[in-house]
Amino acid sequence: MLKSTFLKAVAATALSFSTWASAQAVDLQFYFPVAVGGKAAETIQELTDAYVAQNPDVTIDAVYAGSYQDTVAKAITASRGGNPPQLSVILSVDMFTLIDEDLIIPFDDFLTTEEDKKWVDGFYPAFMENSQTGGKTYGIPFQRSTPVLYWNKEAFEAAGLDPDVAPATWAEMVEFGKKLTKKDASGNVTQWGVRIPSSGFPYWLFQGLAIENGATLANAEGNKTHFDDPKVVEALQYLVDLSTKDEVMAPGIIEWGATPKAFFEGQTAMMWTSTGNLTNVRDNAPFKFGVAMLPKKEQRGAPTGGGNFYLFKGASEEQSKAAVKFVQWITAPEQSAKWTIATGYVAPRAETWETETMKAYTADFAPALVARDQLEFAKAELSTYQNQRVTGIFNDALAAAITGKKDAATALKEAQKQADEILAEYR
Amino acid sequence: MRDFTFKRDWIYGWLLLLPALVFLFAFTHIPAVTTFLNSFFSTPRGRRPAKFIGVDNYERMLGDPVFWKVLWNNLWYALGTIPVSVGLAIVMALWVNEKLTGRSFVRMAYFTPTVLPLIAVANIWMFFYTPGFGLVDQITGALFGWPASNYLGNPDTALNAIIVVTIWKEAGFFMIFYLAALQAIPVTLKEAAQIEGAGRWTIFWRITFPLLMPTTLFVCVNAVINSFRLVDHIFILTDGGPDNASALLLFYIYEVAFRFWETAYGATLTVALLVLLSLLAIGQFFFFDRKVHYK
């Protein structure tokens, strides 16, 4: 009797001791989206598992949360329900929205040493534009991309163009496009010159044109847009003219998702799309292809895109510290290289490109370097307060102009007026 | 004593109702009331809590061109989908009710679109509609030499393209109800009419169709609700574009509430949708109910 009581007491002590020990381990919940094909989700899980294996004092619950849209919706809903994740990957452009909702905290509080500050400076400045505001760092670049031009070398050769030279200017793109646009006997187009998809989020690729023409779509404070800037109007006119006047691009809204397939099928000789498609094109294009920077008007230019790490409010001091440590680890060269090779996302730190793994990869596959080199000319992706709504208005204006329902100037002027009404309260 | 049993029965009755009541209140009534209340407040954001703003949200809704556009789109969507899918359902049901070889195969083929999830359906149709190498273009190109189309990317055709998908998806479902109703009609009626010398059309128009009226009412109520409720495929096919040409009311509500995070305005739009749907349902039951039953 006495013995069994004693045993029970021992067991109970042991049990409570073991739960006490595991309570000492910091628990983190981490939401991530997947926006490209390939092995993105598996790679994140692998990396997380590797980190937990090396650091027994941390447990990380990596939650696949759907698309970018789903992830931000889940994170906001969970926070409102009092159960926020400690860490999440969300679009870099949602920074102002998350600040406005009072859901995130800057990384600065946890990056106190000189070494930490140097670490922040190690990211490409183009990526940091969408990650910092008011002198604070709210986002750490992770799955970042930028649009590039892909071209079909065999189609170039067939049209009598040099297969190794991509158009470098707007005028050249039209000129090449005219040579590349092929029609059959009854006058139907069988191959278009170029394809700039405009479904879903037309603002992103259009922003490439705007930047090349020397325009900025929104200020760094995220409270003023410049949609009706004459340079933006000119850029939109160029885009509209591609299918109406120059007839080198299919008319109407062009589907984003079907664009790589149209390229593989020979429906178009050139396409603009994300570097996130690099691995896809490499695996599936049945012809030799090239990758180039977007053509220039006044300057080269492209927007950045993709997702950042954010720290959420409501975490304990230990949790936030552990989360920052994990972010530092996963963006470190070896892990970052693995991630870039698995997905095609642009490694956000120069030192990653210096690793042996990346050198071997780029030696074998030079197009991967184009995105990195283009970063020098890249600018922040359009991002404002109430971002989804403001970009939504802008998207509607672009769609109206592309489908010929409104002329470029009117559409953009109306969009600017609507955006002003929304953003006035943030100035 | 009598009092006591009365009370006990009363408690017993409520206890039996309780589980259903809890669910009904938790998931239907309380959210509806909260939505209604929220529509009179501003959207809370971060440090700024919601404040009472009266009917501002409703004024904004009446002045919102996108609201009127999606409402108009929804009207077209309802007019385009309901009569055609109901008519098609009757024709299909009549056909597969006859004795023909491979009847179960045809029935199954008609019913398949209903079994598929709407998202899967949308992905299949996405391929059909793809410009250039999609199924539609391959067929029209080979047969008539038509150029590549862009049904989903053109504001004039996007909504119609979505209507076609919805009809394809819904007709088979309604067919099942008609099929069940047809089998419940006694054969003797048809035989008696034939003896009197009635033709096939007369039999259908004077006997079958009136006897199907209760089913038609049920199907129509469902079709109307569906025309406001089914928006899943829009996310895949057009995302409401170009320039809201194919956005419907419920899609716009989702966009406002969960993309733009304007929950208060989303609540206002939801109230509008609820009012509209209840009016339609009440109207259908009250006005048609009298004409439905065969006398």
- C-beta atoms of B147 and A188 within 8 A: yes
A8 touches chain B (CB under 8 A): no
Give me the CATH code for the B57-292 domain, please.
1.10.3720.10
Cis peptide before B242 (omega within 30 of 0): yes
Percentage of chain A modeled with pLDDT above 70: 94
Residue A74 sits in the same domain as residue A36: yes
Residue A335 sits in the same domain as residue A362: yes
| Residue A279, pLDDT above cutoff 90 | no
* Number of domains into which chain A is organized: 2
A199 touches chain B (CB under 8 A): yes
CA A97 – CA A105 distance, rounded (Å): 13
A137 touches chain B (CB under 8 A): no
Burial of B115 (0-12, 13-18, 19+ CB in 10 A): exposed
* Cβ-based neighbours of A95, under 8 Å, separated by 6 or more: A104, A130, A131, A133, A138, A139, A222, A308, A310, A383
Residue A30 sits in the same domain as residue A111: yes
A408 touches chain B (CB under 8 A): no
A417 touches chain B (CB under 8 A): no
| Domain coverage including residue A198 | 147-303+386-426
Residue A409 forms part of a structural domain: yes
The two structure tokens encoding residue A32: 């991530």
The two structure tokens encoding residue B231: 């928006």
Residue A240 sits in the same domain as residue A273: yes
| Residue A275, pLDDT above cutoff 70 | yes
**CA contacts within 13 A on the Cβ side of B295:** 4
Q: How far is B45 from chain A (nearest CA, A)?
A: 5
A253 touches chain B (CB under 8 A): yes
- Asked if A208 and A236 count as a contact pair (C-beta separation under 8 A), the reply is no
**How large is the average pLDDT for residues A205-230?**
93
A35-49, B25-39, B78-92: least confidently modelled range: A35-49
Q: Enumerate the β-bridge partners of residue A169.
A: A296
Residue A183 sits in the same domain as residue A236: yes
At residue B293 the predicted structure's pLDDT band, cuts being 50, 70 and 90, is: low
| Residue A289, pLDDT above cutoff 70 | yes
| Residue A22, pLDDT above cutoff 50 | no
Residue B165: the pLDDT is 94
Angle at A150 between CA A145 and CA A156, to 5 degrees: 170
| Residue A338, pLDDT above cutoff 80 | yes
Nearest CA in chain B to A188: B147
Looking up residue A83, the CATH number of its domain turns out to be 3.40.190.10
Residue A364 forms part of a structural domain: yes
- C-beta atoms of A267 and B133 within 8 A: yes
At residue A18 the predicted structure's pLDDT band, cuts being 50, 70 and 90, is: very low
A252 touches chain B (CB under 8 A): yes
Residue A263 sits in the same domain as residue A297: yes
Three-state DSSP class for residue A179: helix
Residue A35: the pLDDT is 72
Residue A379 forms part of a structural domain: no
Q: Could you report the per-residue pLDDT of B126-149, keeping only the tens digit for each?
A: 989 988 888 998 898 888 888 888
At residue A21 the predicted structure's pLDDT band, cuts being 50, 70 and 90, is: very low
Q: Which residues in chain B have their CB less than 8 angstroms from residue A265's CB?
A: 132-133
* The pairing of beta strand A378-379 with beta strand A136-137: unpaired
- C-beta atoms of B133 and A189 within 8 A: no
At residue B3 the predicted structure's pLDDT band, cuts being 50, 70 and 90, is: low
B44 touches chain A (CB under 8 A): no
The mean pLDDT of chain B is: 88
Q: Which residues in chain A have their CB less than 8 angstroms from residue B119's CB?
A: none
B14 touches chain A (CB under 8 A): no
Residue A15 forms part of a structural domain: no
B262 touches chain A (CB under 8 A): yes
| End-of-domain residue from the set A368, A396, A415 | A368
Residue A337: the pLDDT is 92
Residue A26: the pLDDT is 86
Q: Which residues in chain A have their CB less than 8 angstroms from residue B45's CB?
A: 100-102
Residue A361 sits in the same domain as residue A407: no
Q: Which residues in chain A have their CB less than 8 angstroms from residue B241's CB?
A: 199-200, 253, 395-396, 399
**How large is the average pLDDT for residues A42-61?**
91
DSSP B166-177: HHHHHHHHHHHH
CA A92 – CA B73 distance, rounded (Å): 34
Residue A289 sits in the same domain as residue A177: yes
Residue A114 sits in the same domain as residue A228: no
Nearest CA in chain B to A402: B242
Q: Could you report the per-residue pLDDT of A347-386, keeping only the tens digit for each?
A: 999 999 999 999 999 888 888 889 889 998 999 999 999 8
CA B222 – CA B95 distance, rounded (Å): 23
Residue A240: the pLDDT is 95
Nearest CA in chain B to A391: B260
Residue A264 sits in the same domain as residue A173: yes
Residue A152 forms part of a structural domain: yes
**How large is the average pLDDT for residues A296-319?**
92
Residue A257 sits in the same domain as residue A228: yes
| Residue A161, pLDDT above cutoff 90 | yes
Q: Which residues in chain B have their CB less than 8 angstroms from residue A187's CB?
A: 147
Residue A65 sits in the same domain as residue A160: no
Please list, residue by residue across A245-282, b when 16 or more beta carbons sit within 10 angstroms of its beta carbon and e when fewer do.
ebbbbbbbbbbbebbbbbbbebbbbbbbbbbbbbbbbe
Residue A374 forms part of a structural domain: no
| Residue pairs spanning A and B at CB distance below 8 A | 98
Percentage of chain A modeled with pLDDT above 90: 62
A4-18, A23-37, A173-187, A295-309: least confidently modelled range: A4-18
| Residue A8, pLDDT above cutoff 80 | no
Would you tell me how many other CB atoms lie within 10 Å of the CB of residue A234?
A: 17
**How large is the average pLDDT for residues B273-284?**
86
Please list, residue by residue across A119-142, b when 16 or more beta carbons sit within 10 angstroms of its beta carbon and e when fewer do.
beeebbebbbbbbbbeeebbbbbb
pTM of the model: 0.84
**Phi and psi torsions of A193, nearest 5°:** -75, -50
Using the structure block, give the residue that is written with the tokens 């004593």. Answer: B1
Domain ranges of chain B: 57-292
A267 touches chain B (CB under 8 A): yes
Please list, residue by residue across B142-163, b when 16 or more beta carbons sit within 10 angstroms of its beta carbon and e when fewer do.
eeeeebbbbbbbbbebbbebbb
